[in-house]
Amino acid sequence: MRALLITGDRSGSGKTSITLALAALLKKQGIVQTFKVGMDYIDPSYLAAVSGRPCRNLDNFALGDGQIREIFSFGCRGADIALVEGVRGLYEGAEALDDTGSTAAIAKTLNLPVVLVVSAQSITRSAAAIVKGFQAFDPGVRIAGIILNQVKGGSHKEKATRAIEHYCGVPVIGAIPRMDEMQLAMRHLGLVPYREGAGRGDFDKRIRTITDIIGKYVDLDRLLALAEEIPSSRKDSLLDHAPEQDVCIGVAFDEAFNFYYADLFDVLPSLGAKAVQFSPIHDRLPDADGYIIGG
């Protein structure tokens, strides 16, 4: 199975929209498993919707390296490619002088190649200086390719691309122009969970718009060429254990109650509990031994 991490040079670089579109495009070619760095649950709700598989969180502030590797390996089972979306800028984390809680820490823990999304608005040659700085800041992070965002036109794209590839030695695999329809489609993404029912049709339309645009301006074949084979883990996972399910747990799950991490629905069965989802808004309370009511 192959894997790749998509991150940005800063918040607002466009990495979430780009990762969503890439997941949707890659799903047409095989089974995609998505991950999100950090404890965010809104972006994962979109990644799960486009991939058709639960998106899982990876965060070395809350989890040890062994747990991160186990969650990653378990989540990837049955998938053809893994796509990890970073959080904020590549090196943003909990501390100023180490990478705890950062995308960079996850990239190193899992030894993943990184595609860096660079906001190229109003810069050309300076984009190479930004990439060079990101490369030099931590040589343990392997920046394998660049996607430029907010590109004004052909000359802008050509200058920035030539500079990055000459000075930094990494390919520019996409250059996304500034487009009104892209900005309109991106608005509200990352602010409201996908399951908040009333707007889902509108969000689906926004995601289709973004996917169509990204599909035109990012070279999917070159992206796939950057993804690296990840050895499958032969180690049994704690989540594999499936004792007899002698406890029933009702889990509130609907457009109002959906703040859960995907691992909950693996942990419960591994401990002998059957999880039964219900809607506090629409359903009667199920007969159960206990209940979990998420935010």
Same domain, 52 and 98: yes
Our count of domains for the chain comes to 2
User: In this structure, which amino acid lies at residue 246?
Assistant: D
Comparing 33-37, 186-190, 199-203, 266-270, which segment has the lowest mean pLDDT? Answer: 186-190
Residue 236, C-beta contacts closer than 8 angstroms, at least 6 positions apart:
none
Same domain, 82 and 164: yes
Comparing 39-48, 196-205, 273-282, which segment has the lowest mean pLDDT? Answer: 196-205
Provide the edge-to-edge strand list for the sheet that holds 290-293.
Answer: 273-278, 247-252, 290-293
Tell me the average pLDDT of the chain. 91
Same domain, 223 and 254: no
Same domain, 43 and 167: yes
Look up the pTM and report it. Answer: 0.92
Residue 58 has φ and ψ, to the nearest 5°, of: -130, 120
Mean pLDDT of 136-153: 96
* Predicted confidence (pLDDT) at residue 124 exceeds the cutoff of 90: yes
Which of 202, 229, 256 finishes a domain? 229
Burial letters 246-279, b for 16+ CB under 10 A, else e: eeebbbbbbbbbbebbbbeebebbeeebebeebe
Same domain, 48 and 124: yes
Confidence category of residue 41, pLDDT binned at 50, 70, 90: confident
Same domain, 186 and 267: no
Same domain, 220 and 263: no
Write down the pLDDT at residue 194.
Answer: 77
Which of 229, 255, 284 finishes a domain? 229
Confidence category of residue 119, pLDDT binned at 50, 70, 90: very high
Same domain, 131 and 212: yes
Residue 201, C-beta contacts closer than 8 angstroms, at least 6 positions apart:
none
End-to-end CA distance of the chain: give it in Å, rounded. Answer: 34
- Looking up residue 56, the CATH number of its domain turns out to be 3.40.50.300
Mean pLDDT of 116-122: 96
Same domain, 104 and 244: no
**Across-strand partners of 58?**
37
Decide: 135 and 164 in contact? Cβ < 8 Å: no
Round to whole Å and give the CA distance between 175 and 158: 9
Same domain, 281 and 139: no
Same domain, 176 and 88: yes
Per residue in 221-237, pLDDT tens?
999 999 999 876 656 67
Per residue in 182-240, pLDDT tens?
765 566 666 677 776 545 677 788 888 899 999 999 999 999 999 999 876 656 676 77
Same domain, 157 and 201: yes
Round to whole Å and give the CA distance between 73 and 110: 10
Which of 194, 229, 264 finishes a domain? 229
Residue 64, C-beta contacts closer than 8 angstroms, at least 6 positions apart:
none
The parent domain of residue 252 ranges over 238-293
Give the max Cα distance, the chain.
66
Mean pLDDT comparison of 36-40, 187-191, 243-247, highest-scoring range? 36-40
- Burial of residue 66, with CB atoms counted within 10 A of its CB: 0-12 exposed, 13-18 middle, 19 or more buried: exposed
Alpha carbon distances (Å) from 174 to 29, 47, 177, 215, 219: 19, 21, 10, 10, 6
